[in-house]
Amino acid sequence: MKTKHAVFIIAFFILMSGSAVAQFGAAAEPLPSWKDGTSRTTILEFVDTVTKEGGPDFVLPAERIAVFDNDGTLWAEKPAYFQLLFAVDRVKALAPEHPEWKEKQPFKGVLENDLRAALAGGEKALLDMVMTTHASMTTAEFEAVASEWLATATHPKTGKRYTEMVYQPMLELLEYLRANDFKTYIVSGGGIEFLRVFSEEVYGVPPEQVVGSSIKTKFEMRDGKPVLLRLPEINFIDDKTGKPVGINQHIGRRPIAAFGNSDGDLQMLQWTTAGKGKRLGVIIRHTDAEREWAYDRDSHIGQLAKALDEAKQQGWLVVDMKKDWSRIYPAGK
């Protein structure tokens, strides 16, 4: 027994030493799809700084919260938010039951394949349509409908599944942060239940770490079984000033790192970086018209103007997709 004990003690110290970690299946270089340069370095240095025990900017693991916008930050958002394309398909599928939609925007535009007309009503109309087509069913029924769509629908330009249009460098970043004891959250203007259908499998983000827009739900008993019914009524819009509100409601703790790509993320970046100690604010800028899309100030979807101006004043990192990323989408997809 004594020997066993001694071996244990020795092993314990070896385990704790960096050399053993380096020796055994040591970490490959982190963030392989990020090219060498300021963006990659800034991220690596931030993580080193806040995880360095005894350092002046050390952050306890429990407080290492990183929040990520989804549309345009973790996956693409052109020609329109993917959830909107899902809603379009739902409108078409449900149209026979709703003859009034033929005369009513945004449904009319959708049915006439005129997305521009459908979108003319702005974000509120957009969310209305999304929410309306997502309601009047149980949460379980919605999950089934959304899963089915994600498993079968393909993007009009790339022909890929939508879940294949996630950004490989961001997948690596999520993984890298979690390997450094960060809790990674999605904080999206998209629907919370829609995101949860794929967030765990695709991003490694479990449902309880997804914050998003929502419609109201109602508990009721059906044939002696409890269900949650999705009501056609907006509960919360997790965009712009709503993002810090959603973060506070769900997480209850200020993040130390925030990643966004549009003016919808401005307040989330402000809220995150206004906290004490070392903070990281990052904007993913769409600059790659060849491999992805290039857009900013004049884009209807994913408009980036105010947040880009403020990035300079605040010292937020602006990632240039074209220059900083060696790959956009995961390999072989």
In a 13 Å sphere around the CA of 40, the CA atoms on its Cβ side amount to 16
Is residue 237 within 8 Å of 127, Cβ to Cβ?
A: yes
Helix pair 266-273, 242-250: axis angle to 10 deg: 50
By CB under 8 A, what part of segment 58-87 binds its own copies? 62, 65
> In the complex, what is the shortest distance from the CB of residue 332 to its own copies, in angstroms, rounded to a whole number?
26
Q: How far apart are CA 241 and CA 272, in angstroms?
A: 12
Binds its own copies by CB under 8 A, chosen from 12, 48, 52, 151: 12
In the bound state with its own copies, the residue whose beta carbon lies nearer, of 288 and 310, is 310
Closest to 212 (Cα-Cα) out of 246, 178, 245, 184: 246
Interface with its own copies includes 21 (CB under 8 A)? no
Binds its own copies by CB under 8 A, chosen from 104, 124, 218, 323: 218
Interface with its own copies includes 144 (CB under 8 A)? no
How far, in whole angstroms, is CA 291 from its chain's centroid?
20
> In the complex, what is the shortest distance from the CB of residue 129 to its own copies, in angstroms, rounded to a whole number?
22
- Site for its own copies (CB under 8 A): how many residues? 51
User: Which strand ranges, in their side-by-side order, compose the sheet holding 280-285?
Assistant: 137-138, 225-236, 210-222, 183-191, 65-68, 257-260, 280-285, 317-320
Segment contacting its own copies by CB under 8 A, of 31-39, 221-229, 292-300, 302-310: 221-229
Interface with its own copies includes 134 (CB under 8 A)? no
By CB under 8 A, what part of segment 231-290 binds its own copies? 235, 241-242, 244-245, 248-253, 267, 270-271, 274
> In the complex, what is the shortest distance from the CB of residue 200 to its own copies, in angstroms, rounded to a whole number?
8
Strands 183-191 and 225-236: unpaired
Q: How far apart are CA 215 and CA 230, in angstroms?
A: 7
Residue recorded with tokens 């899902």? 86
Q: Give φ, ψ of 20 to 5 degrees.
A: -65, -40
Interface with its own copies includes 16 (CB under 8 A)? no
Interface with its own copies includes 4 (CB under 8 A)? yes
Instruction: Annotate each residue in 173-212 with x if it binds its own copies (CB under 8 A) or - if it does not, as one string.
Output: ----------x--------xx--x---x-----xxxxx--
Interface with its own copies includes 312 (CB under 8 A)? no
Binds its own copies by CB under 8 A, chosen from 22, 23, 52, 277: 23
Cα angle value 21/24/27 (rounded, 5°): 70
CA distance to 52, 85, 91, 276, per residue, from 96 (Å) = 60, 18, 9, 55
> In the complex, what is the shortest distance from the CB of residue 235 to its own copies, in angstroms, rounded to a whole number?
8
Which residues, including other chains, have CB under 8 Å from residue 116's CB and lie 6 or more apart? Answer: 109
> In the complex, what is the shortest distance from the CB of residue 14 to its own copies, in angstroms, rounded to a whole number?
5
Binds its own copies by CB under 8 A, chosen from 18, 29, 97, 219: 219
Q: 38: which DSSP letter?
A: H
Q: How far apart are CA 41 and CA 30, in angstroms?
A: 11
Answer positive or negative: Cα dihedral of 305, 258, 265, 84: positive
Q: 73: which DSSP letter?
A: T
> In the complex, what is the shortest distance from the CB of residue 263 to its own copies, in angstroms, rounded to a whole number?
14
> In the complex, what is the shortest distance from the CB of residue 56 to its own copies, in angstroms, rounded to a whole number?
22
In the bound state with its own copies, the residue whose beta carbon lies nearer, of 225 and 312, is 225
**Contacting positions for its own copies (CB under 8 A):** 1, 4-5, 7-8, 10-12, 14-15, 19-20, 23-24, 62, 65, 139, 183, 192-193, 196, 200, 206-210, 214, 217-221, 225-226, 228, 235, 241-242, 244-245, 248-253, 267, 270-271, 274
